[in-house]
Structure 1
Amino acid sequence: MTNEALASSTTSDHSFTRKYQTYKIKKEGRGNFYPYVFNDIMGLEDGDGRGVRADDIKLAMMGHVKDGYKFNPVSSLSKDDPGYNSFPSINDRVHVLVCIYSANAPQMNSSVLHKMKEIREAASDLGIPQLAILSHIDEACGETQKNLRNAYRSKHLKKKMGDFSSSLGIPMNCILPVKNYSDEIQLKPDVNTLILSALRLMIDFGDDYVARL
């Protein structure tokens, strides 16, 4: 259990994350980290001038966004900005693009969907593999809330995944259901199984991408 990446428990149409932030996963023992990182970004929001801009995500995928850069919903990062990385290394570039969408959310707004499609197309042009995480599955489905092992048996979740796949174009086998740690204070094997299964696929896709460079 860790609380390195801060989150908000209140429902809001504004993204809680404001900066481009890199997170490492520490191994047991001092000073050792696993050989992968997560780059968290500001969320996509409905309407122009709200949420992270698609152009900023494109720059991040190419490694041009420095860690700690504060996103500006009105204006994209420019080459003159201190947060612009002019000479990105392979480690600065994004190896896997992961979209996170709540299974409990209402139908996606058309402007958000347009931004996501634009970002996906840019990732495809860069050869970056893409995955989607369907989160909060226990809140969206009573079957899964009773038993997480029903995650892949739930007709409701399967329809959610199918609708998301049809809207965005991500294949069904690249959409992974996950339960968030919300009120738990101890680790639970069934929750971990879904999370680690998603992580395993991210790492495999990232390895494939790096091997092609």
Structure 2
Amino acid sequence: MMSSLFQFLFGLQNPARRPPLPVPRPSSPEFVTVLADKQVKEGEDVTLQCQTNTGHVTVTWEKKDQKLCCVEGKHRTGKEGSAIFLEIKKAELGDEGKYTVTIQNSSGSASCSAMIIVEINEWRTVQWKQDPMISALKNFRISSGDVRELRFLLHGPVGAGKSSIINTIKTIFEGHQFINCLTASALTGESFTTKFEKFNVGDVPFTFYDVMGLEVNESKGVHPDDIINALKGHVPNNYEFKACTPIDEDNRNYILNPTLNNKIHCLVSVIPADKISMMEEEVIQKMRTIRAAASKLGIPQVVFMTRVDQVCTMTQKDVTKLYQSRKIKEKMTECSNRLGVTMNCIFPVKNYHEETKPNEQLNSLMLEAFTQIVHSADDFLKRNSNQQKTVE
């Protein structure tokens, strides 16, 4: 016992005999500040930076969940004390995406991510002042004296935003939130619209017609023949659609000899930007069939691409950046390819959804598209009126 005590005391006095002390573990790595999303113009430099609680870490970077391959002269990564950074020189479209940094030591690891969004040169301009457009539309006069109102038919898949477009346009012209046009349920995917329903717009001579959404199954949704008959003017207001039995001459409601007042003057295809990639080919084919029939009738056609804020963070934050978004242009191109419609006939729009107060930028975007279909419809009436005069 005394010998052991002696050895212990001797060890304390003699550092050479002292037992080694345990090496303290480093602090578990944490972020004091995280990476922030960056929006940058094409050609500008951009830096992602964050702060950690310790400098004793190894750092790895990923782009779109893949290890970042740094290019000399393009990327520079570094660590200064507890600060970590990634520099990207002369940002290009290919630099857009999610970047993730991971810090690690023997005590653990932590990660954080941020988006880099690269603005491309604006390829289409919008008048972001609503009053001049509202005034011009309110003073608009239909070129054909025999036609009381311009008639627009909206069609597209269930949940595309057809009814929401009507609500938004009525909100703009009637000066208050309009929500009387029921919209498709996002949960059930079922259309509230069952009839060929007419909606007037304030005190201007414009009328929208809403129809059931197109679906894959022949026993569900509106039949393409019903939409084609509506284009021709054979379908009366409030006619209730029957999915498997399109209206024909044997139906007592069928308008046998329609006038220009009964016909549709412009067909508006409605496509959701966030779902265009997932749309069934059968639904796309139905829309192509309807568009082909409209072309034979000489009826102008445009596409309203809705839900743009759901596919682009930059647009979600600031709708005036819409035509500087690579993502929006990609979706427009995809829409053009799938439907077979030219890019200049596609208009990205945003409907009122969560907003409860007027939004001038949202209104202006919709008014730009609306003004286009008004002039297209009136041009259709001019052509048809001239043809009638020539026959007479």
Identify whether the pair has TM-score above 0.5, normalized to the shorter chain.
yes
CA drift at 1:88 = 1.5
Q: Is the 8 A contact 1:47 1:112 kept in 2?
A: no
Residue 39 of structure 1 pairs with residue 215 of structure 2? no
CA change 1:16–1:125 in 2 (3 A) is: same
Per-residue CA deviations over 1:164-191 (Å, capped at 9, x if unaligned) read 1011111101110111100111110010
CA change 1:8–1:117 in 2 (3 A) is: closer
CA change 1:166–1:8 in 2 (3 A) is: closer
- Take 1:83 and 1:150, find their aligned partners in 2: how far apart are those partners? 47
In the other structure, the counterpart of 2:267 is 97
Please point out which of 219, 231, 249 is paired with 1:79.
249
CA drift at 1:150 = 1.2
Where 2:324 maps in the other structure, the secondary structure is coil
In the other structure, the counterpart of 1:186 is 357
In the other structure, the counterpart of 2:17 is none
- Identity value in percent: 37
Where 1:152 maps in the other structure, the secondary structure is helix
Residue 58 of structure 1 pairs with residue 228 of structure 2? yes
Where 1:182 maps in the other structure, the secondary structure is coil
Q: Which amino acid aligns with 1:203?
A: V
Question: Once superposed, what is the RMSD of the aligned Cα atoms?
Answer: 1.2
Please point out which of 254, 258, 261 is paired with 1:88.
258
Please point out which of 85, 99, 107 is paired with 2:278.
107
Q: Is the 8 A contact 2:184 2:191 kept in 1?
A: no
Name structure 2 gaps, 5 residues minimum: 1-176, 385-392
In the other structure, the counterpart of 1:29 is none
Per-residue CA deviations over 1:127-164 (Å, capped at 9, x if unaligned) read 00100011011112111001001111111111111011
- Take 2:352 and 2:310, find their aligned partners in 1: how far apart are those partners? 12
Residue 140 of structure 1 pairs with residue 311 of structure 2? yes
In the other structure, the counterpart of 1:30 is none
Name structure 1 gaps, 5 residues minimum: 27-32
Where 1:112 maps in the other structure, the secondary structure is helix
- Take 2:261 and 2:225, find their aligned partners in 1: how far apart are those partners? 20
CA drift at 1:9 = 4.6
- Residue correspondences, number: 207
Please point out which of 182, 185, 192 is paired with 1:6.
182
- Take 2:238 and 2:204, find their aligned partners in 1: how far apart are those partners? 21
> Which aligned runs of 4 or more in structure 1 are off by greater than 4 angstroms?
none
Q: Which amino acid aligns with 2:299?
A: I
In the other structure, the counterpart of 2:343 is 172
Larger strand percent? 2
- Take 2:260 and 2:206, find their aligned partners in 1: how far apart are those partners? 13
Q: Is the 8 A contact 1:102 1:136 kept in 2?
A: yes
- Take 1:83 and 1:23, find their aligned partners in 2: how far apart are those partners? 20
In the other structure, the counterpart of 2:73 is none
Q: Is the 8 A contact 1:15 1:45 kept in 2?
A: no
